[in-house]
Amino acid sequence: MATTAAPYGARPIGTLSASGSFTGKVRHLPIITTYGTQISYGDFCKVAADGTIAKDTGTTATTAVGIFMGCSYTDPTTKQKTFSQFWPASNAATDAMAYVLDDPFVVFQMQADEAMNTTDRGLNAAVVVTAGSSTIGHSKSALDGSTPATTNTLPLRIIDFVEGPHSLPPKGTTASDAYPDVIVKFNAASSGSASNHSYLNATGV
């Protein structure tokens, strides 16, 4: 069982798309020069009003376009093309491109920030958003383990739990785990509510 909180953001593992084929492909989307917030590998990101990528800091709802998987830019100091797992806050690069896994049906794994029970399977949950690591560039966002509910506006749908020595015990039990690894997807739109992935919203950004 997982006894240590070590959140790592969203880790893509599959898709529920009609094709059923998960390739992990990303879309290249621009980051505006000197954007002042670090975007870490595994963070949710969104399209801002100016059409560039920004970190999505939503907790009880998101407007995510996908999961940030890294970026490239010409370093303004060395003038060298640089590939990075994270966007350094306020970087003055003028050609930065984010690599975004933008499949709205992506299935991904996150660690919960507190104990959960297997009876939470099928419920919706919120996100805990924090600053990512500035050394290795990984997200530290987590699934909010205190929030599972039927509430249709919450951003994540709990599909399952990861079984194994570092997470919940086998299916068929109702045992809890301190910091389980949870398999989730973006919660889709329902009557009277917006989808938590921007591609599935009828209203544009």
Q: Please check whether residue 65 lies inside any domain of the structure.
A: yes
Q: Please check whether residue 203 lies inside any domain of the structure.
A: no
What pLDDT, on a 0 to 100 scale, did the predictor assign at position 1? Answer: 53
Q: Please check whether residue 145 lies inside any domain of the structure.
A: yes
pTM metric for this prediction: 0.92
Residue range 73-88: mean pLDDT, rounded: 96
Inter-CA distances, 143 with 10, 94, 111, 135, Å: 9, 33, 6, 22
pLDDT score of 181 more than 70 = yes
Q: Please check whether residue 196 lies inside any domain of the structure.
A: no
Distance between CA atoms of 166 and 147, rounded to whole angstroms? 22
Q: What is the extent of the structural domain holding 39?
A: 1-189
Residue range 59-64: mean pLDDT, rounded: 95
pLDDT digits (tens, 9 = 90+) for 111-160: 999 999 889 999 999 999 999 999 999 999 999 999 999 999 999 999 99
Q: Please check whether residue 165 lies inside any domain of the structure.
A: yes
Assigned token pair, 113:
């920030």
Q: What is the mean pLDDT of the chain?
A: 91
User: Going by C-beta distance under 8 Å and a sequence separation of 6 or more, which residues neighbour residue 92?
Assistant: 33, 34, 76
